[in-house]
Structure 1
Amino acid sequence: MSRYLKIIVTKEVKELIRDPRILIGIILVPLLMFPLMGYAFSLASESAEKELMSLKVSVLDEDKSELSRVLLETLRSAPNVVLSESNTSDVDEWLRSSWGSGARVAIRIPRGFESNITSGTPGVIEVYAFIRSLSMAETSALEFVNSLVRSFERNITISIIERNMPHANASTILNPILEVARTVVKGNVTDMPPQTFMSAAMSQSYMMPIVVMLLIMLAAQLAVTSVAMEKEEKTLETLLTLPVKRVTILWGKLAGSAIVAIAGVAAYMVGFMYYMNTASSSFWTEGMPQASIGVPLEGYMLLAVSLFFSLMSALAIAVLLGAYTQDVRSAHSLLGILYIPVFVPAFILMFSDISTLPLGVQIVLYAIPFSHPMIAAKSIVFGDYFIAVVGIIYNALFMVAVLYVAARFFSSEKIVTAKISWG
């Protein structure tokens, strides 16, 4: 790195970091926002668990049969369940009383419950969920009671089978098929269930479009802000009069914006990973190899090269857009042009594989240089490096073309006189 380039890069980084809007909005906010979101989610989960420590269930047993008593014992023996029985004959009064007593769930066992089951007719149980607030505790309470009712139902089913078929295995009759699901990835067979693998793989595939989108957006914002600030404060003309090649000034601005953007994305990812670790349970269980969807070193290298070319192209375009504005506000407005080819591919590729899309959509996505790091991330997971290499070649050519245009622009007087009138 030449001395002049190093000086310009240092100047750009210092100017960007000293701007409180950039320091707070790009670096400090994500470091604080995501952990606070994770803490809020954790607090909600703890609150729901605390509520379930004493789950009040109101029961109206109108059947008074042996099976209804077994159901009551099932509920009563469950941990954390406080059972409240009622002897009223008025259902509406019972519901009002249950609501007033603070019950979370109410269960009514109508007359004929046992006789229906013994005669081969389904027995009816009415379950009322008292929704007092929109919280995780309400959902958790109902799911817990429903799991107890399903357990009771299974026990009844087993009892009926054993009574009518004493020599049969009731569990085998209820579950005649034992599915052993395995996953084949890159030709390797693992004992991981496909649902678990896809959940983990999809969660990782979401991350790359998000990272690419954030990195390009932040880098573009910094680059366009750098040029617009200097045009707004009339310092760009002074910088251009220094005995430094204008191409060196261009590279200095690009490098300075890229450095600060990478720091901003790192802050985003640190905060986001903390949020994911706090708010989400792990997809992996003991004995499930995470390496099944891992990326080897050469894959990461290809991904880094593809991301670098896309980033440099975005920075060069942002610098050109910034040169056509007179202040920071109009620069950010004009930058919206660049957001469209960044946002659209990111959202499409987060939920779709490019090979499954219509041919016309595939052509458009392949033509957008910012799509290729996202496409490469998915293909590299399965060991397909061809698409990544082709994307790198395309991005390199696109980057050279954009940098050539930017260099020609900086070498002319248009860098000072160019502007777009907003009326």
Structure 2
Amino acid sequence: MSTDLTPTTTANEPWPTPVAPGPFRARVEVPGSKSETNRALLLAGLADGPSTITGALEARDTVLMRDALQGLGVRIEQTGSALRVTPPQRFTPAPEPIDCGLAGTVMRFVPPLAALAHGTTRFVGDPVASQRPLAPVLHGLRMLGASVDGDAIPCTVTGPERLDGREVTIDASGSSQFVSGLLLSGSRFPNGLLLRHHSPDGATIPSRPHIDMTVHMLRERGVQVTETEADHWQVLPGPVLALDQRIEPDLTSAAVFLAAAALTGSSTTVPGWPEETTQGGDHIRRILQQMGARTELVDSELTVTGTGVLKAVDVDLHEASELTPVVAALALFAEGTSVIRGVAHIRGHETNRLEALEAELGRVGGRVQQTPDGLRIEGCGLAADGLHAAQLLSYADHRLVHTAVLIGLLVPGCSVDDVQCTSKTINHFDQMWTTMLEARG
């Protein structure tokens, strides 16, 4: 993968990141989970009848998923906040190229479904989409009997009259989405699916809670899926039952608002927080507690309160790597040296996130060093000693904007080049951020 960290979008004017005007007391309604929304949409498109999804995230990645499914013959109708999804009698190749943007869930979940359509579907994306790993999914489709041209975006998938394959072995150490993408459509393959992860160097699968989410949602819909042994899954052929679903709030997106409270001695409450969840973003509760914040979950409302103390952590984020940009920003202001481990694979996310975090935290004077599987960050304390203003870069990556706005709370004069790229998961993020900072309970 290229390590060119030149920003990929500069169309927007730099946005001055707001400095915390003082302690706030805010209630933040976080949009629905992107991960859950796109899984629910795809499973509804595969189901044996119509179903309704409520609380779905309305953002770029989910709109791309909806467009992709509609291109393959799924009908999706919106009434207020509800989506009515009607599967086709049979899938048909998309007449126009399917735009994946930079959405990993679209480029990794939709090609297996497209292999069920007899004919050729082309997949395209943003200019840097070709840098996002995709080959394991496409390799798996070849093993199932589909014809695939290319190993990254852009590519084409041609479904035969019948997929005759069943056994697939891939290296999923680069992304759990490689496993989820194949599992989601597995019961609709004529012979089902026997999927194995094998890494030549023994590397494990990251972000396992996302696979847990996939398996849980499949079982809710009557799909027989079992992990027969470690990293081996079997999906029996059969229908996907139609199921109405309400989407949980996106806990990873919520993390930046909760972290703001920890940084500024403030209080943020996120309603709708589940008591139990397969979302990896739930790990932020434990991390904030370790760093010194108070957390309280009562009646499905999570409140985080900053205590004026922020301690360094040594944390393995292999299971929740999407939290790395937020935890790195917190570590910059902690007392002591923090180590983030287990996230080597995020070099293949929307951008090379480890290199980008090293560059951007360093841009304001932070002392940050990449390690083979993460970051080592020397904190400067909540007084932000030694840090200075800078224009921070997003690299078209919504999570890097989260890093930038957290830095801007305590370092006056900062800006970020493209706040609008946060529309990938939250529309009007800048307005939500400003409203939170102005809240006084």
Bin the TM-score by the shorter chain: under 0.3
TM-score by length of 1: 0.25
Q: Which has the higher helix share?
A: 1
